[in-house]
Copies of this chain bind each other. A is one copy, B any other.
Amino acid sequence: MPTILIVDDEEDIRELIAVNLMREEDYKLIEAVTGLEALHFARSSKPDLIILDLMLPEMDGLTVYRNLREDPRTKTIPVIMLTARGRLEEKITGLELGADDYLSKPFSPKELMLRVRNLLRRTNPLQGSSVVEIGPFSLDKSALKLHLDGSSIELTATEFKLLLLMIESPGITQERGDLLKRVWGYNDLIQTRTLDTHIKRLREKLGNHGNSIETVRGVGYRFQEA
């Protein structure tokens, strides 16, 4: 589970970010208010990502950033910086952003999530053993590829997530609601054909193994080697 450190003195913003992060996946969140706290947590908890507001009391956000970059323990942690629109944007673009990114307030939750996922994926491509094998199926987490019958099949991020969830519990029916929650972050029971569509696309890509994804009518789907 990726750990994310949020640094902002405004509680509203911290909450807003937390909401949108938790809606998507399971992250462990750490919150810091001041720059000193931020540096402390960054060093002790070694988060996978830092979201840093540049408007901080006492210690300026840019200073925090530079400190992070100088310390070998935190040097490689990607940072998303939050700035007020137009104000500090220029200064940031002047920096060598490297693996980092920035976002102008007010930002849309969607935008934020995209960047979070991008950065985490870019720097943290493999979590755990990166290959899952079940029968003739071989899922490569780092390449988002599926090896099957000697050929290599490319899957999109969503397709991969969906297939992985089912394939990790072979023979067990995953309920529609659970899948929607775990793949898409939908917490509410919404009426959508999204899941069906992706199942269809998956089955197509699986070719003659498509029937390994069984429909359990009224409940959900289930992976079972045919």
Question: For the complex, is A149 an interface residue (Cβ under 8 Å from B)?
Answer: no
Size bin of chain A's contact surface: 35 or more
Question: For the complex, is A15 an interface residue (Cβ under 8 Å from B)?
Answer: yes
Across the interface, A108 reaches (CB within 8 A) one of B142, B143, B189, B218, namely B189
**Complex Cα–Cα for A93 and B18 (A):** 7
Least distance between A152 CB and chain B CB atoms (Å): 11
Question: For the complex, is A210 an interface residue (Cβ under 8 Å from B)?
Answer: no
A130 touches B172 (CB 8 A): yes
**Complex Cα–Cα for A214 and B145 (A):** 12
B18 touches A90 (CB 8 A): yes
Question: For the complex, is A205 an interface residue (Cβ under 8 Å from B)?
Answer: no
**A118 and B178 in contact, given A23-B93, A90-B16, A142-B172 (Cβ under 8 angstroms):** yes
Please list 5 pairs of residues, one from A and one from B, whose beta carbons are closer than 8 Å in the complex, sorted by A's number: A14-B94, A29-B96, A110-B189, A130-B172, A144-B173
Q: Which of A28, A143, A188 gathers the greatest number of chain B CB atoms within 10 Å? A: A143
Across the interface, A143 reaches (CB within 8 A) one of B118, B130, B156, B216, namely B216
Chain B residues with CB under 8 Å of A14's CB are 94
A219 touches B15 (CB 8 A): no
Chain B residues with CB under 8 Å of A28's CB are 96
Least distance between A20 CB and chain B CB atoms (Å): 8
Chain B residues with CB under 8 Å of A111's CB are 188-189
Chain B residues with CB under 8 Å of A130's CB are 172
A142 touches B222 (CB 8 A): yes
Chain B residues with CB under 8 Å of A97's CB are 22
**Complex Cα–Cα for A29 and B97 (A):** 11
A22 touches B224 (CB 8 A): no
B216 touches A94 (CB 8 A): no
Contact with B along A55-86 (1 / 0, CB 8 A): 00000000000000000000000000000000
A173 touches B94 (CB 8 A): no
